Structure 1
Amino acid sequence: MTDLHPDRRSSALSHLGATMARHPKTVLVVWLLAVVASFGSALGVFTQESLFDRLHSGEPSVSGENQQGRDLLSKAGQAATDQYMAQVSGVDASSPDVARAAGAAAKRIAGIKGVQSVGMPYVVPQGVQSPQAKVFFKDENPASDGFLTVVTLDPKLSSAQGTQVREQVDRELATMAKALPGSTVETGGLSELISSITGQVEKDLRTGEGVALPVSFLIMVLVFGGFVAAGMPVTGAIAAIGGALASLLGFSYLIDLDATVVNVVTVLGLGLCIDYGLLTVSRFREELRARAQGMPAKDIPREMIIEATARTVDSAGRTVIFSGLTVAISLGGLLVFEAQIMRAIGSAALSVVLVAILVAVTLIPALAALGARRLLRRGTEQAPEHGVFSRLATWVHGRPVPIIVGVLALLIFLALPVLDLRLTSSGKELLPKGATQRVFFEDLASHYPTLNGPDLRVVAQTTPEKAAAYAADLPKLNGRVVRGTPEKVNENLSTIGVDVPGGPLGDDAREMVRLLQDHRPDFPTYVVGQASGLQDFTDSMFARAGPAFALVALATLVLLFLMTGSVVIPVKALLINVVSLGASLGVLVWIFQRGHLEGLLRFDSVGALESMIPLLILAFGFGLSMDYEVFLLSRIVELHERGYSNDDAVVMGLQRSGRIITSAALLVVIVFSGFVAGQLLVIKQTGVGLAVAVLIDATLVRMLLVPATMAVLGDWNWWAPARLRRLHARFGITE
């Protein structure tokens, strides 16, 4: 077959590759300085605050009824983060000595600048036998072995000031504990829970990288047959992590970043750099072997290395840029959603894609050029045109219809659990069992149910009298009368606490939110609570899912058309990816919602998926799926443009790209699996979901379904209307 490949030595990417090869040491020094600066900035070496100091945590929120009610309470000085609590156990709560020591501590704490009030049973004006004092005793029993202290801080305090006040409170609590032999004091609050979650993010990040990088390196040593070749993608991945953390630090000054964003975005940068590094290094070896043609590696001249690098960046670099665009498109869909956390992830991830592309077209080529002779030290013979993947493609082409039917049936079967999808927005449940703050809030709910807060609250903009009348006549829940507990905030604002069976995210709580919204009084009310916030989030998500999907689908179809000149291949790729992602989400529901593999994966099912997980899996999974689609199609299109038949292009394309796709997928699965070893539930769900998505795509889809459908369609794969063919001839992205 005649090589019809055009001469692209004058292209911009060829010039870039040649420049990287002529000045590799300069490129490495620049990248080294950038990586050191990135890690230093993110870890707080060069700044007053590290990235992790600037992270937030909480349920995903959108502008809606729940947020409006919370804003009203916050303006009225009732923000939940302003409360700091201490559970005292191991004492005789009815003892006068305990009362004296606790009362003295309360007086000292109340005198701390920044403390608004102190609540405990021994300082209630009505006395320790009053109903007001009873709720502060453990199990609401004045003769129990414990009591609760609630310290309310000034809401105007900054984060640093709040920390200082809490430290002063802790010292006074320690003094009180010394005066009460045998007592134990456990402290906590919403701010402490958030800090615990963000701290767990940092630990999980270290755990994930500590597992993923060494194992990935060992696998790449086996794949490439040497430490030098394996070290290049890993080096690029480390650079990507630094770039990802630095970009996140920058974004933290523009938007609030949730703690989970760090893991999600870092994992993406790690995975993409390994993918692109493998592709670039493999293509470089192929190009250099083609030029050396049996020449001893030590005798390869410098100009030949420069030519190979230029051609690598022009070919593999084009694939990387195109792949990066498809990933960016899928992540760009997150920007359509209202939830700030989705926009934060989308914005930060887009910057990480840029870092991964820069690493692939600058740092990796420079490393390849510098270590070129060692990369080929085992010989410069040409890689075989026939092998495992060409034989697999030939086998698939012999029975395409049964393979299509079988694979689609399996994917649909795996997707069936999605029909039972249930979303939640966990708080303390994100942390592993035994975590200090999770135990604190579990004990609070068990022993101090009234002070733990109601499952739902209705914020009523009216007089206390009207609010009390409304609280006594709430809508019935499943035929049961529900009573609310009114509490005056000020003359024009009250809250009505509502407790229902099953907790704040149970079915009854979700149903009660609907009833309260359907039965409004003649004054403004806002239903506040986890169930209300979850409803606002899911309503907003579904409202914008259509436009987001349309945007991603249209942009993907256009890009794939510009790459292939076909309208059939892009539509087929889109449909296959939808089915594949449905299967991945179904597996995730089966594992985490239904509680399978709890022991193996070390988690406790909450009977649902975290509310943002489906969006993340669909966006990131689609991007990674299109990543491998581009890897395969770029080779097939290249061969088809050289004049090979459809079937031959598919067989040879799979042979040339199959090893890269399989190796890259294996390594990315390892990366995601590394983060499964973490403790935070939402990160574990993300890691498992994306690992499953990549595994399904790289095996069932890319190795079986794509070759089979291309065999059935034959030359129809390349069909496009005459007008679009002319458009592609003018604007198409071809080799």
Structure 2
Amino acid sequence: MFARLGRTVALHPRIVVVAWLVLSVLGVALAGGVVGDGALGRVTTATPVAPGSQSAQGAQVLADARTSGPSVTLVVQGVDPTVEGLDDALDPARTALAAITGVVGVYDPLGLPDGITNPAAAPLLALDGQGFLVVVELAPDLGEGAQEASLEAVTARLTTLPQDLAAVAPGATGIVGADHLVQEELTVEVGRDLGTGALLTLPVAAVLVLLVLGGLLAAAIPFAAAAVALAVGLAALWVVAAVTDVDASVVTVAAVLALGLSLGYGMLVVHRFLDELHDLVDEDDGAGSRRRRGDGAVAEAVERTTATAGWTVACSAAVLAVAVSGLLLLGPRVLAAAGVVVVLVVLVAAAAALTLVPALLVVLGRRLVQPGVLGPLPGVRTLRARAVQRARDPRVSAVRSQVRGRPWWVVAGCMLLLGVLVAPASRVDLRVSGTELLPATATQRAFLEALAAGYPAASSPAVAVVAETDLEQAQAWAEQVATLEAVASVDAPTTMGSYVVIGVRPASTDPGGAVAQRVVRDVRALDAPFEIWVVGQAAEQTDVTQMLKARAPLAAAAVAVVTLALLLLATGSVTLSVAALGTSTLVALAGAGALVVVFQTGRLDALLGPAATGGVETSALAIAAPVAFGLSAGYGMALLARIAELHEAGRRTDVAARVARRRSWVLLTAVSGVLVALLGGLVVADLVVLQEIGVALAAAVLLDATVVRLLLLPAATTVLAGQSWWGAAWLARLRDPLVRLR
């Protein structure tokens, strides 16, 4: 199948290139906003929600009962509300705001009857007496376009309001806050993080690709595939976001994976093609590969490449796609959407490597191996030769000797190291944070912090109870809630349609911390004479965590079974397949351990900024763990399949392991290095969830490339010796059709 694919591409390379070019243009049009609102315009600030849980049901009840529209709030700072002339200075802004289409109310403490002495003005006045709030409410029945225009007009006018007060309060400043502004700021941050990461990491990746492939033309091919995969992958995200909510952070993750996987897969294909072409042309200038159409040597090299490296790419991509598909079984829709996006990106990257890259190889042909400005560069020939086993690095040879001479010690040392790195994962505390994930310098985060510090009565309580009862019964039950140990205060019950809402404020400023979670549990445990729903960040976090704990074992088991089946078919060994499955699991857990050390404990805050949120973000761990597992299992499969191939050719197990490691360590390490470099763009991002995904994946990929593939798997293969191929006889009957397919 893969050899036939290579022949087909070799016969019609320009058609393949044009087809991918058309797809990339369409992708840019969709993802870039040429048609519609683009990928960044489609995403939201979605957080994981447990479908059917009490918090999800309560949130839906509130949404259905809400009769008010969206609001925009201005926190005015540096102004004494009692200063003379302030009320008159606010009149022009009140008039202008009230005239905006869709505005149904403009509220500030001085505009109320009797002004700031009105009891209703208290929530709008700063505790320190140096500020006040201006709240503008919109009608709930505005159309999407009209609402967007009204929100923009209100925001613009509120932004300039402090300037109206210059005559009576020269030091007045203000911060405008609203839900739509959080979305806008998050979108801007995602775009900025993506651009900054690309600027910092792509040059490093380019150097690695150039060093391994040896020439500018050869190095340009994986980058061409990466650019196309990026455009098509983000277009796929655009389509998914049109159907369901996709969190904004997934855009950056999808972009990094599209680039990293495409470059890695492209390097594998181009590197193998250069080897095959050298073998064909060095001896007789390709005379033995003549064909009716095109350059016979190039066509045959492409055919051999797709049958070998193409097979490796397909297997690695399949394992990664299977691993990420486990997100579909966890429950929260936002995680399922992220899983669908990542799977599509993986498939696009693999498809580009299997079709576009070979087509470009055919088009460029022998120019890739001919000396010239764009051909092989003399300065990198030594490294290129090492990658194709034409030289030996003494330091690597020393490591090989240790692995070969003391395999038991190597296995024991690697397992001990993995155990130490995995241990912190047992203490992981999952979080579902809100605006705390925004950078400390974000305007909307500053707005919410100012609101919580200066206007506690106007800020939303961390926990809320939706009760299906009347106000009198709710008041009586709220008195019981106020007696709970972890509760600091309870807001006066308010009606919302046929329901009553009771705000509960935990004795902690952390809306998702242990105290808030205890309040959720204690309130739910109270006996209420009516139906209640406990909602809020801590409630959502509790419900999501419970759902993940219940469903994660099933999802992990399903992924493990399918991955093991793929490993068995690729290697023909039960022992090696189980070993690869186990090491990949440890690598993923080590990535989770890195998250605990860096973010939950905050030990690297001085390096990464104030990133610790007291735990690990659920979405970050849910995305990073399966991706880390899939990458490790995929590249491990490539190494073990090579060992199996050499063993089937008659090599002893220890010799096969040594030869496979020597032939692949430079290339596979460089592929991992490119991915780690690109993941570094996530580590330096401003959004905490991106930092967490970047740290987990970078740590896992680095660990897999060094400890697992360079040391542990080859040493384990040597230790197991003949036992490595237990089950090979009966597996051969299953693998034969697969080998013929290959």
TM-score range normalised by the length of the shorter chain:
over 0.9
Structure 2 distance, partners of 1:171, 1:433, is: 23
- Cα 1:297–1:157, aligned 2, differ >3 Å: closer, same or farther? farther
Describe the superposition over 1:282-335 as per-residue Cα deviations: whole angstroms up to 9, x where unpaired.
111111122223567999971011100111011111111111111111011111
CA shift for structure 1 position 161? 2.4
Equivalent residue for 2:722, pick from 715, 721, 728? 715
**Within 5 Å, which residues of 2 pair with 1:201-350?**
201-294=190-283, 302-350=295-343
Moved more, 102-111 or 231-240: 102-111
Aligned partners of 2:537 and 2:139: how far apart in 1? Answer: 24
Aligned amino acid, residue 502 of structure 2: I
1:578-597 to 2 correspondence within 5 Å? 578-597=585-604
Query: Does residue 553 of the first structure (1) align with residue 553 of the second (2)?
Result: no
Q: Which residue in 2 is equivalent to 1:3? A: none
Q: 1:528 aligns with which of 526, 535, 541?
A: 535
Write out per-residue CA displacement over residues 201-229 of structure 1, whole angstroms, 9 at most, x where no aligned residue: 12212222222222211221122222122
In structure 2, the partner of 1:7 is none
Q: For 1:489 and 1:110, how far apart are their aligned partners in 2?
A: 26
After superposition, what is the alpha-carbon deviation per residue over 1:507-555, rounded to whole angstroms, capped at 9, x for unaligned? 2111100101111301011111111111111111111101101110000
**Residue 134 of structure 2 corresponds to residue 149 of structure 1:** yes
Quick one: which amino acid aligns to residue 408 of structure 1? M
The one-letter code matched in structure 1 to 2:226 is: A
Change in CA separation of 1:651 and 1:156 when aligned onto 2, cut-off 3 Å? farther
Alignment match, 1:82: 70
Distance 1:432 1:297 in 2: 59
Does structure 2 conserve the Cα–Cα contact (< 8 Å) formed by 1:65 and 1:526?
yes
In the alignment, residue 228 of structure 1 is paired with which amino acid? L
Alpha-carbon distance in 1 for matches of 2:468, 2:722: 68
2:370 equivalent in structure 1 = 377
- 1:475·1:519 contact (CA, 8 Å) conserved in 2? no
Matches of 1:395 and 1:599 in 2, distance apart?
38
Report the Cα distance in structure 2 between the residues aligned to 1:482 and 1:192, rounded to whole angstroms: 30
Which residue pairs with 2:12 in the alignment? Answer: 23
| Counterpart residue identity of residue 162, structure 1 | Q
Distance in 2, Cα, partners of 1:733 & 1:192: 57
Tell me the CA shift for residue 104 of structure 1: 5.5
Q: Which residue of 2 aligns with 1:6?
A: none
Residue in structure 1 matched with residue 89 of structure 2 by the alignment: 101
Q: Confirm or deny that 1:447 pairs with 2:454.
A: yes
Relative distance call for 1:458 and 1:295 in structure 2 (3 A) is same
Deviation at 1:710, TM superposition (A): 0.5
Matched to 1:569, the amino acid is L
Distance in 2 between residues matched to 1:298 and 1:147, nearest whole Å: 85
2:118 matches 1:122:
no
Mapped partners of 2:482, 2:451: distance in 1: 28
Do the aligned partners of 2:47 and 2:334 also contact (CA within 8 Å) in 1? no
Amino acid aligned to 1:231: A
Secondary structure of 2:243's partner?
Answer: coil
- CA separation of 1:555 and 1:481: change in aligned 2, threshold 3 A: closer
Q: Deviations over 1:111-131 (max 9, x none)?
A: 433223333212334642133
Task: Select the residue among 69, 85, 89 that pairs with 2:58.
Answer: 69
Contact between 2:319 and 2:634, CA under 8 Å: does it hold in 1? yes
Q: Is the 8 A contact 1:394 1:651 kept in 2?
A: no
**Distance change in 2, residues 1:669/1:175 (3 Å):** closer
Contact map agreement 2:280 2:286 (CA 8 A) in 1: no
Asked whether the equivalents of residues 566 and 718 of structure 1 are also in contact (C-alpha less than 8 Å), the reply is yes
Identity of aligned residues (%): 35
Distance (Å, rounded) in 2 between the aligned partners of 1:178 and 1:708? 71
Distance in 2 of aligned mates of 1:505 and 1:401: 46
* SS state at 1:135 partner: helix
1:267-666 equivalent positions in 2, closer than 5 A: 267-294=256-283, 302-377=295-370, 383-384=388-389, 387-388=392-393, 392-474=399-481, 476-478=483-485, 482-490=488-496, 492-503=498-509, 504-666=511-673
Distance 1:610 1:228, change over 3 A: same
Cα offset, 1:607, TM superposition: 2.1
Greater shift after overlay, 664-673 or 646-655? 646-655
Q: Which amino acid aligns with 1:114?
A: G
1:575-613 alpha-carbon deviations (Å, 9 max, x no partner): 111222222211221111111222323343222111222
Q: Deviations over 1:389-438 (max 9, x none)?
A: 67644430210111111111111111222222122222222222222111
Distance 1:582 1:167, change over 3 A: closer
The answer on whether the counterparts of 1:562 and 1:732 sit within 8 Å (CA) in structure 2 is: no
Contact 1:594 1:605 in 2 (8 A): yes
Task: Please give the alpha-carbon distance, in whole angstroms, between the structure 1 residues aligned to 2:311 and 2:582.
Answer: 25
CA contact under 8 A between 1:101 and 1:176: conserved in structure 2?
A: no
The alpha carbon displacement at 1:175 in A equals: 6.5
Task: Specify the code of the residue in structure 2 equivalent to 1:152.
Answer: E
Which residue in 2 is equivalent to 1:9? Answer: none
3-state secondary structure, aligned to 2:117: coil
Specify which of 121, 131, 140 is matched with residue 119 of structure 2.
131
Distance 1:326 1:712, change over 3 A: same
Deviates more, 1:463-472 or 1:410-419: 410-419
Q: Secondary structure at the match of 1:563?
A: helix
Larger mean CA deviation between 579-588 and 306-315 belongs to 579-588
Deviation at 1:95, TM superposition (A): 2.9
Counterpart for residue 153 of structure 2: 168
Structure 1 residue 172: deviation in Å?
A: 4.2
Residue aligned with 1:612, SS = helix
2:240 maps to a residue whose letter is: F
Alpha-carbon distance in 1 for matches of 2:660, 2:741? 16
Distance 1:207 1:70 in 2: 36
Distance 1:599 1:282 in 2: 41
Q: Does 1:179 align with 2:164?
A: yes
Instruction: Name the CA distance, whole Å, in 2 between partners of 1:146 and 1:605.
Output: 30
Give the counterpart letter for 1:473 in structure 2: Q
Deviates more, 1:101-110 or 1:489-498: 101-110
1:245-298: CA deviations, max 9, x gaps?
110111112111110111122222222112211110111111112222356799
**What code does the residue aligned with 2:126 have?**
K
Aligned length: 718
Distance 2:733 2:10 in 1: 37
The amino acid that maps onto 2:49 is: S
Greater mean alpha carbon deviation, residues 87-96 or residues 407-416: 87-96
Give 1:615 shift. 1.6
Secondary structure of 2:507 counterpart:
coil
Task: Give the Å deviation of 1:159.
Answer: 4.1
Q: Is the 8 A contact 2:76 2:133 kept in 1?
A: yes
Flag the 1:38–1:491 CA change in 2: closer, same or farther, 3 A. closer
3-state secondary structure, aligned to 1:268 = helix
User: Among 47, 60, 75, which residue is 2:48 paired with?
Assistant: 60
Runs of 4+ in 1 over 6 A off after TM superposition: 296-301, 379-382
* Cα distance change on mapping 1:732 and 1:404 into 2, 3 Å: same
Partner of 1:402, secondary structure, is helix
Aligned-partner residue type, residue 640 of structure 2: L
